[in-house]
Amino acid sequence: MADESISRRGLFMKLGILFNGLVATALAVPIVGFVLSSITRGRSNAYLAWVPLGPVNQFPEGETRLATFKNPNVMPTDGKTVDTSCWVRRVEGDQFQVFAINCAHLGCPVRWFPQSGLFMCPCHGGAYYRDGSRASGPPERGLFEYPHKVENGLITIQAGELPTPGASAALIGKKLPCA
Ligand code: FES
């Protein structure tokens, strides 16, 4: 009887360990996948693509204009959300700045006011100078910029993910040598 009790206890112990192991594995797989995806995502540029904004003569020197492009990192079901806006500032000649439309605070779309020479955020009053640097309000930094290049009279930006204050923003804000 004692032997049978011990063996039954041992069996339940082994079943318990097996069950805990299965639960731990089931929980660990998505967590490990999430952690690894953030690492591999930072190394891969597969989701980034160069997309055209239009001929440079659409953007007069000294002015800032709104432009839209199709986000290359979308699903077929995304519909109109693939259309993304950005602010294009043509400083002079082929010298441009292309700003994300999203405020660097919490992402509300900023508007350009040529009269005051400021980008203004309607959500919490954030303001940015014409060169995208922070002027006032809660944002801790200037507007995010897209890497861009001018080739054959066409301005093109590197797009594919929304700028955020995370690591991806560092990528978006990084200027390329050709910019
Ligand atoms: S989201 Fe623009 S100031 Fe807060």
Domain boundaries, the chain: 7-42, 49-159
Q: Which atom of ligand 1 is nearest to the CA of 139?
A: 3
Taking the centre of ligand 1 as the mean of its atom positions, its distance from the CA of residue 72, in whole angstroms, is 26
- pLDDT of 114 over the 90 cut: yes
Candidate CATH numbers 2.102.10.10, 3.60.21.10, 3.40.50.300, 3.40.960.10; the one for domain 49-159: 2.102.10.10
Taking the centre of ligand 1 as the mean of its atom positions, its distance from the CA of residue 172, in whole angstroms, is 19
Residues forming a β-bridge with 1: none
Q: Which atom of ligand 1 is nearest to the CA of 125?
A: 3
Mean pLDDT of 28-41: 73
Q: Which atom of ligand 1 is nearest to the CA of 108?
A: 1
Ligand 1 pocket, CB under 6 A? 103, 105-106, 108, 121, 123-124, 126, 137-139
Which of 101, 119, 121, 162 should be mutated for ligand 1, with most atoms under 8 A from CB?
Answer: 121
> Which of 7-21, 82-96, 162-176 is modeled with the greatest confidence?
82-96
Q: CA 78, 80, 83: angle at the middle one, nearest 5?
A: 105
- Res 179: pLDDT: 33
- pLDDT of 40 over the 80 cut: no
Strand arrangement, sheet containing 148-151: 49-55, 154-159, 148-151
Q: For the ranges 46-55, 82-91, 108-117, 142-151, which has the lowest average pLDDT?
A: 46-55
- pLDDT of 59 over the 50 cut: yes
Q: How confident is the model at residue 45 (pLDDT cuts 50, 70, 90)?
A: low
Report the share of the chain in percent with pLDDT over 70: 80
- pLDDT of 5 over the 80 cut: no
Taking the chain, what is the end-to-end CA distance rounded to the nearest angstrom? Answer: 83
**pTM to 2 decimals?**
0.68
- pLDDT of 177 over the 80 cut: no
The pLDDT mean for the chain works out to 83
Mean pLDDT of 95-102: 95
